[in-house]
Structures are given as structure tokens and as C-alpha cells.
Amino acid sequence: MGKVFTHMTMSLDGFIADPQDGIAELFAWYEVGDVTVPSRHEGVSFKVDENSAALLREFLANTGALVCGRRLFDITNGWDDSHPVGAPVVVVTHRPPEDADKWKTITFVTGVEEGIAQARRIAGGKDVTIASADIARQALDLGLVDEVDVSLVPVLLGEGIPYFANLTRAPHRFDDPVVIPGSRATHLRYPVRPR
């Protein structure tokens, strides 16, 4: 069975976006290398260093489903029904869109536990990735996350949207990270210690 992990690009001071949901300062590492990694979304590719390319290739090859929240779904317009990771998406929301049935690769559920369970079924033994900070926080508090991955970029935003805020069951403990150096990002993979 695949693992459930969360991956975010984060500033040194812990933010995954600026207060206006801006990510340009954080996502620059996706465009600073010599190695092209095509995504599963037509027209989207990454230009990264070799270490980052290996990480992205692994994510693309092993992810069977992605879980996010309604806010990210709205910001991205549901990735036009084709997320770059190439896997079906499960959106956790208390208010599905009126056109919920038009989305071919997106499923809407009402709770985090239900979302992770549905994503595991869809993934069919492959990994499940969580791509929203609030969903990641809730899943971690529920003991549903196997690994926390951070692509740490050398910038301080000062304020913004934190990766983990308002944890209700902290402290959460992790094993030592796997460290993957990259251009404009250091990738850290922390296995979650069972409670």
C-alpha cells in the first residue's frame, strides 16, 4: 500500500504563500534548472536541477491520487480537470460546487478522513499526496499522514499562509529527514513517527 504524504514549497519562516495567495517567490525553483521534467498536464513542465528532477519524477510516477481543499480547487479552477501530477483529485469541502458532476477527474467529499479513504481507494496502492495546508494539518492531527515533505526555499516572506498552523494534537514528531539539495530549494522528507 502506498504512503500518504504532504508536500509543500515553504519559505524559511514557514509560509506556503504570501497573504494574497502569491507563490512566485516560492515556486521559482521550478524554473531555474537545466533539466526539463514534463508534468502530466499538457503544456506544463518544470526546469529544475537534477536532484529536484529526480524528486519530481518520483512524485509524478508514484502518486495515485491527490487530496486538496475547496480553496485551492477554486484558486486553480480545478486545474481545468487535469492536475499536473496526472492523478485524480479528491476535494474536501462542506460546499461542493453546483457543477460538481461536470468534473471527470475530481471527486468532492465532506471530511478529511473520508477524503483520505477515498483517495486511497482511487490510488489503488500508489501514494496519496495532500496538497492543501489546512487539509494536511487536519490529516496530521488525525494520524493519517506517513510523511511530511518540504521544499524549503531561501526567502523570508514575513507573513502569509503557514504550512502548519493551529495543530490540535501537537507535538507531532518525525524521524530524521532525508535531505535532497537543489537549486533554490532544499527538499526535506520527514517520516512521521507513529503515536
pLDDT in tens, the chain (195 residues): 799 999 999 999 999 999 998 999 999 999 999 999 988 777 788 999 999 999 999 999 999 999 999 999 998 888 888 888 889 999 999 999 899 889 999 999 999 999 999 999 999 999 999 999 999 999 999 999 999 999 999 999 999 999 988 889 889 999 999 999 999 999 999 999 987
Q: Which CATH number fits domain 4-191: 3.40.50.2300, 1.10.3720.10, 3.40.430.10, 3.40.228.10?
A: 3.40.430.10
Residue 129 CB-density burial (10 A; 0-12 exposed, 13-18 middle, 19+ buried) = buried
d(CA 10, CA 13): 8
